[in-house]
Amino acid sequence: MNERAAPLVELRDVHKSYVSGARPLHVLKGINLAVERGEILSIVGPSGAGKSTLLHVMGALDRPDAGSVRLEGEDLFALGENARARIRNRSIGFVFQFYHLLPEFTALENVLMPAMVYGAGPFRDRGEAAARAAELLSMVGIEGRMAHKPSELSGGEQQRVAVARALVNGPRLVLADEPSGNLDTGASAELLALILDLNARSGQTFVIVTHEEEIARRAHRRVRIRDGALE
């Protein structure tokens, strides 16, 4: 396959069920989706439609029951767990709906974490990684609160720390699950501006699950999921 011509991410006939209770719940029912390099794609759809599940499978956090997920032509679930984890850490950034910051660490340490998982990540050493983490925290407007723990930050501030953490390794793909779900209008507009700016400046690709019309409208493309299938 010509990798340069391949989409950044490509899902082919992806199925995923959860088994909890008497019968399995078929959540993703044959998803086909390609995301191009430099694209901002929004995913919209009702609660329970499978948006979070789709994002987790796309980011190789959850294995599909059938179908394939390719990143730059590489079939992620054909790789061993270590190789997959490495790609996830270096090439994919996640912004989770409820932040998932580590409570016992400061904002700066939380942002630094993905860089330190494998040595110093893409950086020469911890100092260089810490400098980048601090730069990202300034960019998201947290420069005065880098030494604060999550419990000492507002919801909007925690979300911005989570965004900085997702970006620290310079991932080609950023996946965000309702990133403005817990933000007020002002913080939500700032987050959108940051995403648009990063995309324009560094060509990072974003896939954003959102209920916000403004975010969906400013994305390059919008897909709708209903009952586990794209419309």
Binding residues for ligand ADP (CB under 6 A): 18, 20, 25, 27, 45, 47-53
Q: Which does 91 bind (CB under 5 to 8 A by kind): Mg ion, ligand ADP, none?
A: none
Cα(44)–Cα(75) distance, integer angstroms: 26
Q: How far is the CB of 53 from ligand ADP (least distance, A)?
A: 3
Partner residues linked to 175 by β-bridges: 94, 207
In the list 52, 159, 180, 188, the residue contacting Mg ion (rule: CB under 5 A) is: 52
For residue 2, what are its two tokens? 């010509």
Q: Which does 53 bind (CB under 5 to 8 A by kind): Mg ion, ligand ADP, none?
A: ligand ADP
Q: Between 31 and 92, whose beta carbon lies closer to ligand ADP?
A: 31
H or E element in which residue 225 lies: strand 221-226
CA dihedral 32, 36, 40, 46 (to 10 degrees): 0
Q: How far is the CB of 45 from ligand ADP (least distance, A)?
A: 6
Q: Between 52 and 199, whose beta carbon lies closer to Mg ion?
A: 52
Nearest to 151 by CA among 185, 110, 203, 95: 110
Q: Between 47 and 151, whose beta carbon lies closer to ligand ADP?
A: 47
